[in-house]
Amino acid sequence: MTTSTATAVADLKNLVAGEWVSVGSGEWLDDVDPATGDVVARVPLSAAADIDAAVRAARAALPGWRATSPIVRARALMALRDTLVAHRAEIAELVTIDMGKTLADANAEVGRGIESVEAAIAVPHLLKGENLEGVARGLDVEMVRQPVGVVAAITPFNFPAMIPLWFLPYAIGCGNTFILKPSEQDPRPSQRMAELIAGVEEIPAGVVNLVHGSRGAVEALLDHPGVDAVSFVGSAATARIIASRSAQSGKRVQALGGAKNSMVIMPDADPKLTSSGVMGSSFGAAGQRCLAGSVAILVGTEEEQDRSLRLLVEAADGLRVGPGIDSDTDVCPLVSVAARERVEGEIEAALAEGAELARDGRGDGGAGGAELGPTILDGLSEDSRALREELFGPVLAVKRVPDLAAAIEWSNAGRYGNSAIIFTESGGAAREFRYSIEAGMVGVNVGVAAPISWFPFSGWKDSIDGDLHANGNDAIEFYTRKKVVTSRWA
């Protein structure tokens, strides 16, 4: 990320209390189109004073929004949903230009975000409490849900439209007010969504606020006493820091971290389902997904393993690398030149340890210098980072095992537990896998086991810090506090 002095591109602003305000720090970063290398916007780095202004705006809007009927808040979400649908193509194009992913992938991302809004529209039902009458003579007990307060969401670059919408609709639907700090690498989809939200008259000013920035902005949100809860998605290391800092300041936190997702390929796997599932999982969005399948566990004899590997290599050979805006592109650029250089360094480190290139995707980086083709590594050592750590690029590591039990044991030994996939035609193997695998999201003949928004995004182990996940009923639990009232009347 380079510091910019250019003035020919748009200067982004914060949304505070319904007004677009300039950031006072005077520091900027470039927002770069990874397909071309062109600077498309300048991102301001909010300082503590800028964050304080947003928190104060959210706190000022909280009493009135909390007092708004859940039915009225649901109708506001309906209006938001309609606005997002009307601008879906526009937001998707911004995702492609800012982050790099293909238009088809970006359009699907925005669609998944809209699904979260649709799920959150049910808040009048989801917020209902419980009661027990007559627990003793004349004594009744009831439990009600109330908003937790001001929520800050810190979201990553890889889903700049969807992940903000994992958090925002549930948070405000439950009666909270909201501050979004999007990734500084591709903030324009969030900026545009904030502009659209500001135009939804059913959502009052100050209920949703947007702040731009980098580490300093994050730290200011974590330390601010006016923030009651933090929702985060990012790397495992950062998630642990977010969770620790939030706990130290008494904040509720859900911090979704990284992953190293296994895809078990059984000898009886359907070749078409397997090749399409693995290609989309491993190399879609250039592998920049926390649900990307990054380890192919090949099960069977050496001959069967080799056959599965040939299937994957041949499928990868048919993928086209290029700009996300091009409809013929299968594998988009990484988010930046620095990201491509980092992933290439991981490939070179694995080769230095003795790994073999089943397929080499390295090249000149394309027009913007951020392209990297599908790369498949075989013969990795057991302690190789390519086998155990998240590389966040189009790199598929291969692990060979004799049977399903060994595949499950190897996968479960890893520290992450986001997702695990099996490709098989055997119902018995699928049942054993789904029962025994230590992952929160499981796919059977499905390359990306992303739950629809009515279910939680339920990673395990080091893939999450906190007890409650994004989406589904977990979101309602996270964004509300329970109050139990015990009453006796003469």
290 is catalytic: yes
Helices 162-173, 70-86: inter-axial angle, 10-degree rounding: 160
In sequence order, the 6+-apart residues with CB closer than 8 A to the CB of 193 are 84, 91, 161, 164, 165
In degrees and rounded to multiples of 5, residue 181 shows phi and psi of -115, 95
DSSP secondary structure of 105-152 = HHHHHHHHHHHHHHHHTTHHHHT--EEEEEEETTEEEEEEEEE--EEE
Q: DSSP code of 85? A: H
The rounded distance, in Å, linking the Cα atoms of 343 and 163 is 23
The rounded distance, in Å, linking the Cα atoms of 90 and 179 is 23
Q: Which of 361, 355, 362, 393 lies closest to 377 in space, CA to CA?
A: 355
| Cα angle value 103/108/113 (rounded, 5°) | 125
N residues, the chain = 490
Q: Which of 484, 382, 490 lies closest to 142 in space, CA to CA?
A: 484
**399 within 8 A of 380, measured Cβ to Cβ:** yes
Biggest alpha carbon–alpha carbon distance for the chain:
82
**390 within 8 A of 397, measured Cβ to Cβ:** no
* Neighbouring C-beta atoms of residue 89, cutoff 10 Å: 12
Which of 290, 386, 420, 430 is the catalytic position?
Answer: 290
**124 within 8 A of 153, measured Cβ to Cβ:** no
**431 within 8 A of 328, measured Cβ to Cβ:** no
The rounded distance, in Å, linking the Cα atoms of 257 and 279 is 23
Query: How far, in whole angstroms, is CA 160 from its chain's centroid?
Result: 8
Enumerate the active-site residues: 290
